[in-house]
Amino acid sequence: MAKVSRGYATTHGRVQILKDIDFRIEYGERVGILGRNGAGKSTMVRLISGAEKPDSGTIDRSMSVSWPLAFSGGFQGSLTGLDNLRFVCRIYGEDWRDHMAFVEDFTELGRYFREPVNTYSSGMLSRLAFAISMVINFDCFLIDEIMAVGDQRFHERCHIELFEKRASHAMVIVSHDAGYVRAHCKRLSVIKDGKLYNFEDNDEAYHFYFTQ
């Protein structure tokens, strides 16, 4: 993305969230984006995914990009979990029958897998969204505070699916947790006051994040 800006209208006027953002990621690269709560991390992920459009600037994608992992906003609430799996697979040209056993096992939804998703708790929705994300072989995965969802067992299963089975894929990991980003990323950027600061040296990025 180049010179990307995004703002939102509020009752107190328009609020500018991101200003002239420049960002690039290559195949197989893991990039961490640090930022305090409300800094614009989730907005940036939605822009990268295509879920939102920028007010200005350009976003070019040379590889397939996931939706933000655990994002369930695209589900049709009146459809069952199974029906939503079928729908997503149809969009991406996958045979849902090849993936049903994995999704059922990973989500541990039991009979609720065949119930409308508008009856699900937020945790159930997140497990379903993450599992369906793993069904599609994206070149780049967008990870937005995924480990904040679910219990320790779920975190461990997410880790295996992402960082072990898909270790060769590109990833954008967005978090306020510097330790989590440090464990998984080789290059870091920091969002502050609507600006994205890119660093070649990770120690410099951490120093900037904790001292600004």
pLDDT of 29-83, one tens digit each?
999 999 988 899 989 999 999 989 999 999 999 999 998 886 666 788 899 999 9
The total of structural domains in the chain comes to: 1
Residues in the chain, overall count: 212
- How would you list the strands of the sheet with 2-10, edge to edge? 13-21, 2-10, 56-58
pTM for the model: 0.86
Q: Judge whether 199 lies within some domain.
A: yes
Which residue, among 156, 194, 159, 188, has the nearest Cα to 172 in the 3D structure? 188
Residue-range definition of the domain harbouring residue 148: 2-64+138-211
Strand, helix or coil at 85?
helix
Answer whether residue 94 is part of any domain: no
Tell me whether residue 166 is in a domain. Answer: yes
Residue range 131-183, pLDDT digits in tens: 998 999 999 999 886 555 567 788 888 889 989 999 999 999 998 888 888 88
Residue 79 falls inside a structural domain? no
Domain-located, residue 75: no
Residue 177: give its domain's CATH number.
Answer: 3.40.50.300
In a domain, 89, yes or no: no
| Strand order from edge to edge, sheet including 170-175 | 65-68, 140-144, 170-175, 30-34, 187-192, 195-199
CB proximity list for 24: less than 8 A, separation 6 or greater: 1
